[in-house]
Amino acid sequence: MQNLMLHDIHYTELDTKTMTWCATAQVRALYHNQKASTCLSTPQIAYSQRQQQRAGVRLLLLALLKKLSITDSLDESSFPYRLTHSQYYVCFSHTSGSSKNATRMQNAIENLDTPYVKVAVIISRHRASGIDIEVNAVKWQVAKRFYHPKELATLQALPTIQRNSAIRWLWQIKESFIKIHQYTLAQGLGMDYSAMIPDLLNQPAETLPLLTMTDDNSNYRIAVIPLQQTVIIY
């Protein structure tokens, strides 16, 4: 059996008028029987990780609602998720940095060794919003397979470090829009966001707390929180 604990929680108010907030955190599973936890098979570890991610984002949602003094529950009967009474839109994201149990697409991502599952949530009174938290690098080969030709042309001309950074931010933007519009994965990854690449690169990402821009095609605002490895579309 395991309990979950949230660490390093960050709350960010994105828009006061529409009551749009996001939160990120790390979640750790605490096993009552540590010896038993080390004897889990690979399928058991995969199942445990999925349960940890699912429970972790919901635990973070409860923490965010408590901070905002909102008493409500999550309606998971359809997408996008909403709060039952207030009808706030809700979107989740999580990442563990483990490729062993990744989905078909995620298995192509180069993974890092991370001690915690990272989770993120956004709520908005205005409209469906998307969020994506990611600690993993996306391989250039993956981008070449799925990204739009205009994006690839821009990325190809960049120095390797800048290109790798832009590839990952674009991946997160695409993932967030997929959650909003319920695109298929291939459809969402193939969208053209090449116009955003200069804005993503022309910022001191290592120190910038929050970068916001607007997607002229959809009129959605895009927030990038580099220190929390998070992209939000709202």
Confidence of residue 203 (pLDDT cuts 50, 70, 90): low
Residue 181, pLDDT > 70, answer yes
Average pLDDT of the residues in 79-83: 96
What was the pLDDT predicted at 109?
A: 44
| pLDDT tens digit sequence for 90-122 | 999 999 754 443 344 444 444 444 446 899 999
Average pLDDT of the residues in 165-177: 96
Residues with Cβ within 8 Å of 87's Cβ and at least 6 positions away in sequence, in order, are: 125
114 exposure class (CB count in 10 Å sphere: 0-12, 13-18, 19+):
middle
Average pLDDT of the residues in 41-60: 85
Residue 186, pLDDT > 90, answer yes
Residue 1, pLDDT > 50, answer no
Q: Which residues pair with 25 in a beta bridge?
A: 119
